[in-house]
Structure 1
Amino acid sequence: MGLQNSNRIQRRFKGYIAPEGEQARPITGFYEALDMLKKPLSQVQSLSHTSPEPPKEPPKTPKEETFAKARIIFGSTTALEERRQEIMKSSQNIAGVLVPPRPEEPDNCCMSGCVNCVWDMYRDEMEEWAEKHAQARAAMQAQRQEAKGTGSMVAGEATPSHVATSMDDDGGGSETNWDGGLDDTDKDKLFADIPVGIREFMKTEKKLKQAQKQAETAASA
């Protein structure tokens, strides 16, 4: 049977002269594979119709991998600086005091013990906001006394209404208690709505950082 097929192929192509550079009898199977091996790699790829692989990123050096891991664990200094710049841009000048916007509670804590934890940053930003808020209110009260007003003051365009009206709006206590600073009781009130576990965590982290800063100061002295 195979011999008969071979004879038919020979009769079919008998007398056919292929043009220069072409094959009179098609090469198939094993001989086709050999022919592809002899051709340059670029021609073989074009015949196979395979799409090129996407370019791969160059492998990172050990130093680059270390820095990448450090950014995840300890946070990026650049990111902290950018966050600080955004806060400064959003701050308002109230009675000569630059008051930052009130921070929002974080919802992206990874619970992996990062040095720059989002809850630590929230605590620092919240305390800074409260202190600047108190300083602005004290400055406005001083302006009222100097102007010998009736106890109320017309707010400027950039002054939030809750700053210009009453000092009791957000649980801050009476005006006599706002001398531009915050005691521990006032700071505890700031985080009254935070879960107890998170509050204690923030307190502990703050004490540890203060102790570390004192140790560094003593070592450099």
Structure 2
Amino acid sequence: MGLQNGNRIQRRFKGYIAPEGEQARPITGFYADMLKKPLSEVQPLSHTAPEPPKESPKTQKEETFAKARIIFGSTTALEERKQEIMKSSQNIAGVLVPPRPEEPDNCCMSGCVNCVWDMYRDEMEEWAEKSAQARAAMQAQRQEGKGTGSMVAGEASPSHVATSMDDDGGGSETNWDTGLDDADKDKLFDDIPVGIREFMRTEKKLKQAQKKAEAAAAA
């Protein structure tokens, strides 16, 4: 019965010419449903990287702490800086000489308590002081017959330390001072702009006065 109906449908559409825009043999059943509901578009294999998560907005308290850290400095950061200097220091003739500090280029000019120029001044003075002590210790060892300054200091020692009175052609006794006076300390900063030098000098005096006041109050 089904075969006969199929033959009649075939004969019906055999000589039928559909109008323009229509189909001679209309699609029905499963295929019609397929056309009504096409497959979803295939996503490309390549994909873009996900956007980084946005930082959650800071609370008022967190913003206050962040601003205070910029102005007053961070104790943790200062301790880490000291540890880095200690790791880079060299033991020369029994004196631990820190590396020569570099001029800062990240001053924010906002009056921070722990200004980078203040730290630079302190580190430069300590470097010069320790270097002078190391040279004096090397001279003492040389006089005891342990070798010249270069021999005592070793190959890895900085050139400003590896100097003895023989090495520099019999230099003056002042080359072996164990300390630095104020004039010598000022010479360390000859290359620094005058404004910055005066700023560092003023800050140092203020800190010294503050320490004296604290010591007097504690006594």
TM-score w.r.t. the length of structure 2 is 0.68
Tell me the CA shift for residue 145 of structure 1.
Answer: 0.9
- Structure number with bigger Rg: 2
Tell me the CA shift for residue 214 of structure 1.
Answer: 1.1
Tell me the CA shift for residue 176 of structure 1.
Answer: 3.0
Instruction: Say if 1:172 and 1:203 are closer, same or farther in 2 by CA, change over 3 A.
Output: farther
In the TM superposition, what whole-angstrom CA distance separates every residue of 1:124-177 from its partner, at most 9, and x where no partner exists? 000000000000000001001111867874542432344223579999983335
Instruction: Say if 1:128 and 1:39 are closer, same or farther in 2 by CA, change over 3 A.
Output: farther
State the number of aligned residues. Answer: 218
Aligned pairs for 1:8-87 (under 5 A) are 57-87=55-85
Range that drifts further, 61-70 or 37-46 = 37-46
User: Following the alignment from structure 1 to structure 2, what is the Cα–Cα distance between the partners of residues 95 and 65?
Assistant: 49
Range that drifts further, 7-16 or 183-192 = 7-16
* Runs of 4+ that moved beyond 4 A: 1-31, 35-59, 148-154, 166-173
Give the secondary-structure state (helix, strand or coil) at the position aligned to 1:42: coil
Range that drifts further, 138-147 or 2-11 = 2-11
TM-score w.r.t. the length of structure 1 is 0.68
User: Following the alignment from structure 1 to structure 2, what is the Cα–Cα distance between the partners of residues 151 and 86?
Assistant: 27
User: Following the alignment from structure 1 to structure 2, what is the Cα–Cα distance between the partners of residues 5 and 57?
Assistant: 71
Q: Which runs of 5+ in 2 are unaligned?
A: none
In the TM superposition, what whole-angstrom CA distance separates every residue of 1:49-98 from its partner, at most 9, and x where no partner exists? 99999765445444323211110111111111111111111000000000
User: Following the alignment from structure 2 to structure 1, what is the Cα–Cα distance between the partners of residues 144 and 58?
Assistant: 64
Tell me the CA shift for residue 19 of structure 1.
Answer: 30
In the TM superposition, what whole-angstrom CA distance separates every residue of 1:96-138 from its partner, at most 9, and x where no partner exists? 0000000011111111111111110100000000000000000
Question: Which structure has the highest helix share of the two?
Answer: 1
RMSD: 9.6
Instruction: Say if 1:145 and 1:50 are closer, same or farther in 2 by CA, change over 3 A.
Output: closer
Instruction: Say if 1:220 and 1:56 are closer, same or farther in 2 by CA, change over 3 A.
Output: same
